Amino acid sequence: MNSSNVSAIDLKTLLALNIHEIKNLMALLMLRLDAIKSENIDVSDSRLLCHRVNDCMERMLLLFNLQTERLSPSIEAHSPGDFIEEFVQNAIVLAAGKITIDMDVEQAPAYWFFDRDLVEMAMLNAMHNALRYAGKRIVIRATLDNDVLLLSVEDDGNGFPQVILENPIGTLSEQHTDGMGLGLFLAEIIAKAHVNKARQGKLLLHNKDAGHGGVFALQLP
C-alpha cells in the first residue's frame, strides 16, 4: 500500500473498525469502573484504556483529514530531551511498575524542528505496542545520527514478526487479532511528512539479535 495516497484505504472499513475498537475498550473500561467500586484496585489499567480510546479518536480525525488533504505538519523548534522526558513520565504511569521504562537523551540535540503532536501520536502507539510485547524493560531514546534526529522505542520482547519487518505498513489490509495495524501505518505517514529541504523522514523497524526485542524508530531530518 502506498502511504502517501491514503484514498487507497477504504475509509469506511477503517472507521467502522475504529469505532468497534472504541466500543471494546469502553466495555472493558466500564467493567473496570464497576470493579473499582467494590475493591481497592489499581486504576492504571483503566488509565491505559482511556489512552487507547483517545488514540482511536485521534486516528479517526487524522484519517478523515488525510482523505481530503496531504498531512502538513506544523514544524516548530522543540527540545527532544524535554519531549522524551515528558513522554517517559506518562509512560511510567501507564506501565504501573510492571515494566521498567528508561530514557536516554544524552546524545540528543538541544533543539530540533518537528511536529510535537504528530510525533507524540506515532510514539504513543509504539509505546502501547511495546507495553504489550515487552518482557521487563523499555528504553526510549533520542539521539542525533548523521544530522538526523532519531527517536526510538526499544523493548525486550520477541521482536517484530518477519512480515512486519519486511513490510511494516502492508499488513493493514489483513485481518489482525491483537489490533488493526493502523499504528505503524500512521507512524510511517507522520515520519514521511517531515521534510527538510531534500530529505524526508522515515519509519525504521528492526529486531535486536536473536529475539532480544524490537526497535521502533522515527528518523526526522
Partner 1 sequence: MMDFGKKRALIIDDSPAMCSSLRNTLSNFGITRCETSNSANEAVFRIRQREFDIIVCDYCLGEGSDGQQILEQLRKSALIAPTVAFLMVTAERGYEKVVSCAELAPDDYLLKPFTAETMRIRLERVFEKKDVFAPIYVLISDAKPEEAIAECDRILNLKSKFSIDLIKLKGELLIALGRHEDARLLYEQIIAARAIPWARIGLAKTLSMAGQAAEAIETLELAIADTPEYMEAYDLLAQQHESLGNTELAQSILEKAVEISPNTLSRQSMVGAMAYRNGDLEKARKAYGIVVDKGKYSFFRSHADFVNLSRVLLDESKYDEALNIIADAKKSFDNTPELELAGSVMQSLIYQGAGRYAESQKALDNALAVKTAHGLHLSDEMSVDMAKSCFLNNKEDEARGLVKDVISNFYDDEKVQKLVRQMLEKVGRADESQNLIENSVSDVIKLNNEGVLLAKSGDLAGAISLLVTASKRMPMNVQVALNAAHALIVDCDRNGWNDDNMQLARKLIEDHVGKHANLEKLKKIHALFKDVSHKFGVRVA
Ligand X SMILES: Nc1ncnc2c1ncn2[C@@H]1O[C@H](COP(=O)(O)OP(=O)(O)OP(=O)(O)O)[C@@H](O)[C@H]1O
Residues lying near partner 1 in the complex (CB under 8 A) are found at: 50, 54, 58, 61, 74-77, 79, 81-82, 85-86, 89-90, 93, 110-111, 113, 115, 117, 196-197
Non-local CB neighbours of 133 within 8 Å, separated by 6+ positions: 155, 157, 158, 214
Write down the least CB distance from residue 54 to partner 1, Å.
6
The whole-angstrom separation of Cα 167 and Cα 155 is: 20
181's CB contacts (< 8 A; 6+ apart) are 171, 172, 174
| Residue from 73, 80, 168, 183 binding Mg ion (CB under 5 A) | 183
* 133 interacts with, out of partner 1, Mg ion, ligand X, none, CB within 5 to 8 A per kind: ligand X
List 214, 217, 219, 220, residue binding ligand X (CB under 6 A):
214
Answer for which of 80, 157, 201, 221 binds ligand X (CB under 6 A) is: 157
| Crossing angle for the helix pair 44-68 and 116-133, to the nearest 10 degrees | 130
Give the residues lining the site for ligand X (CB under 6 A): 125, 129-130, 133, 155, 157, 159-161, 164, 176, 178-185, 214
